[in-house]
Structure 1
Amino acid sequence: MTPILFVLGSCSSLQIGAALATQLFGELGAFGTTTLRLAIAAVILLVIVRPRVRSFTRQQWIAMILFGVVVGGMNGNFYAAIDRIPLGTAVAFEFLGPLTVAAVLSTRRSDLLWVALALAGVSLFGVESLTGAASLDLVGVMFALIAAVFWGLYVLTSARVGRLVPGQDGLAIAMAVGALTVLPLGTEGALVGLMDWRLLALATATAIMASVLPYTLELAALRRLPRHAFGILLSLEPVLALITGVLIIGQDATALRVLAAVLVVGASVGVTLTARSGAPDEPQPIDEEPGWDMPIPTHATVTGEMPVVLPDEDLAGDPHLAGDAGGETSRD
């Protein structure tokens, strides 16, 4: 049960972090909050990971910079979305990104049906709005859909960084690049947060809950769970986001919203269970049967900072890492 609790703890931490972030929007703005949160998370990760920046090749730098730009775009647009629409609704829309990538990369064309199921789920939000049961801010929906596109790109860029950059160096660098990416839109708000200890403390808590803690828990879970089980557990994100919105932010959970979340979760689980077979020359994780391969490096998170595609030696359990639930890579 321990790795399962790690994943559920990660998902819950991410949603709580998003809920905390909404408390900053009034004074810092969505992009100011994003900038400050990513900057704090970057500082924490850079101190912990201590990337060997001088050893990176041009190819590695390009991969990390692209990944960082995607991280910034995804986080900024997601926060702009939850500033206007409910948290659970935004997560459901954002899930369309990785689900679409999963279906496109899958060898089973029938996986497009899972995307159709997810689309049916999110369309219920439109039905709710048209019937007058609840209003839906179209600008917020637009931001959520842009975040979905960035999450789809995150899937691809994080996978490339996972292949090219050892350990967690790529994540630490990408987080810093992500903060710089949204800085032009969030400078004013970030400066306001830096000058107020109360806001800075809340932003630090947000960075820990939405970045550092979930990363630590997910990394520990990945070393103990088969990737298909890990992906299924992460598929619970829309439901957990809905629950968090109700309990912490005080948002409504209508019958249509619950049904929409269930349909999106069902689509995500379906994509995970019908994952394509790996290529013959592709390394096979030791915890799974030959031929199994996740179609995407699924990351829970609504905020997506963590590359789930890890080097094989990490998944196999480096003797220095296997007992380290803190996520810090060992160094010679």
Structure 2
Amino acid sequence: MSASRPPLLPYAALLGAIVSLCVGTSFAKSLFPLVGAQGVTAYRVFFAALILLLIWRPWRHPIVRADLGKVALYGAIVGLMNLVFYMALRTIPLGLAIAIEFVGPLVLAAASSRKLIHFVWIGLAVLGLGLLLPIDPSAARLDPVGVGFAGAAAVCWALYIILGKRMGHLHAGRSVALGMTTAALIVTPVGLVAAGASLFQPKLIALGLVVAVLSSAIPYSLEMIALRGIPKRSFGVMLSVEPAIGALAGLVILHERLVATQWLAIGAIVAASVGTILTTPAEAAIGDAP
């Protein structure tokens, strides 16, 4: 590492990326009453694609036909992942939605190694999910539809990692820009159908741009800094605190209060994620979602 760069800078950048993503997602949820979850998803994906296209300008570097299908499928999964995650946020708290979503890459990372210790981590994650079940009648009940959407986001995240590895030979920035553009082509019409002309109000467009900047542009930029100075395993461990930070963001911004068992559930899933990463080969580590 360069002597001019403080050793803690990459870690601070990654923490900033996680906080920005959680704050941006909380802000996005506050816009649901105005344009719905589908409309906010359209804002985020459309503006994120536009920003990435302007930064990376992938049209300057033609892609071979054999890779077009991979990029298109990758983009479709990115769009679907964003949509179902935002649909989950309509009825369940942010921190819990992120925790459930984390189970997808966690199981994928564990399955890729098949060590005995990974059954412990999977069991811990299952325990965390079990704590979210309405076992205690006095506890807050989670909407099963919202949980289902979060589960779908978990599957999409696992598929996103698999498809992303298949594009490992491509330039990361340009492939993500093309993938996000594909996602925008899929998700934007869904938002238009759901929200209609409301999406074209100048004030809401500006707010949608803020969502994209906080949820995509800033986190992506900060992660680029972090990846230059943080080992992949440490990157994954730090990323694992995202459900807890999401829960805190939901508490502060959206006033989403969780009961003790829900905090324990988040803690169990975070611990399972950290344990999985520390006992999994670096090439199979959990990757961030766009």
- Classify the TM-score, shorter chain: over 0.9
2:56 corresponds to 1:49: yes
Residue 152 of structure 1 corresponds to which residue in structure 2?
Answer: 158
Q: Conserved in 1, the CA contact under 8 Å of 2:13 and 2:222? A: yes
Deviation of the 1:59 alpha carbon: 2.0
Candidates 61, 67, 74, aligned match of 2:74: 67
User: Which structure: greater helix fraction?
Assistant: 2
Q: How does 1:195-206 map to 2 (within 5 A)?
A: 195-206=200-211
2:47 corresponds to 1:58: no
Q: Conserved in 1, the CA contact under 8 Å of 2:106 and 2:286? A: no
Amino acid at match of 1:141: V
Q: Conserved in 1, the CA contact under 8 Å of 2:236 and 2:285? A: no
Q: Deviations over 1:45-76 (max 9, x none)?
A: 10111013662011221111111011011100
Q: Distance in 1 between matches of 2:70 and 2:23?
A: 30
Deviation of the 1:39 alpha carbon: 0.5
Q: Conserved in 2, the CA contact under 8 Å of 1:272 and 1:294? A: no
Deviation of the 1:164 alpha carbon: 2.7
Deviation of the 1:80 alpha carbon: 0.2
Deviation of the 1:188 alpha carbon: 3.1
Residue 271 of structure 1 corresponds to which residue in structure 2?
Answer: 276
Residue 234 of structure 1 corresponds to which residue in structure 2?
Answer: 239
Q: Distance in 1 between matches of 2:28 and 2:184?
A: 15
Q: TM-score of the superposition, structure 2-length normalised?
A: 0.93
Q: Distance in 1 between matches of 2:137 and 2:132?
A: 10
Q: Deviations over 1:243-263 (max 9, x none)?
A: 011000000022111111111
Deviation of the 1:193 alpha carbon: 4.8
2:42 corresponds to 1:35: yes
2:192 corresponds to 1:187: yes
Q: Distance in 1 between matches of 2:163 and 2:119?
A: 22
Residue 284 of structure 2 corresponds to which residue in structure 1?
Answer: 295
Deviation of the 1:131 alpha carbon: 2.0
Structure 2 unaligned residues grouped into runs of 5+: 1-7
* Alpha carbons of structure 1 residues 144 and 195: separation in structure 2 relative to 1, 3 Å: same
* Alpha carbons of structure 1 residues 13 and 71: separation in structure 2 relative to 1, 3 Å: same
Residue 315 of structure 1 corresponds to which residue in structure 2?
Answer: none
Q: Distance in 1 between matches of 2:165 and 2:241?
A: 22
Number of equivalences: 283
Candidates 59, 80, 84, aligned match of 1:77: 84
Amino acid at match of 1:123: G
Structure 1 runs (4+) deviating above 6 angstroms are none
Q: Conserved in 2, the CA contact under 8 Å of 1:20 and 1:202? A: no
Q: TM-score of the superposition, structure 1-length normalised?
A: 0.82
Residue 209 of structure 1 corresponds to which residue in structure 2?
Answer: 214
Deviation of the 1:191 alpha carbon: 4.9
* Alpha carbons of structure 1 residues 90 and 273: separation in structure 2 relative to 1, 3 Å: same
Q: Distance in 2 between matches of 1:192 and 1:116?
A: 47
Amino acid at match of 1:96: V
Per mean C-alpha deviation after superposition, the further-off stretch among 53-62 and 38-47 is 53-62
Higher relative contact order (CA 8 A, sep 6+): 2
Q: Conserved in 1, the CA contact under 8 Å of 2:192 and 2:199? A: no
Candidates 138, 145, 169, aligned match of 1:164: 169
Q: Conserved in 2, the CA contact under 8 Å of 1:98 and 1:298? A: yes
Q: How does 1:115-130 map to 2 (within 5 A)?
A: 115-127=122-134, 130=136
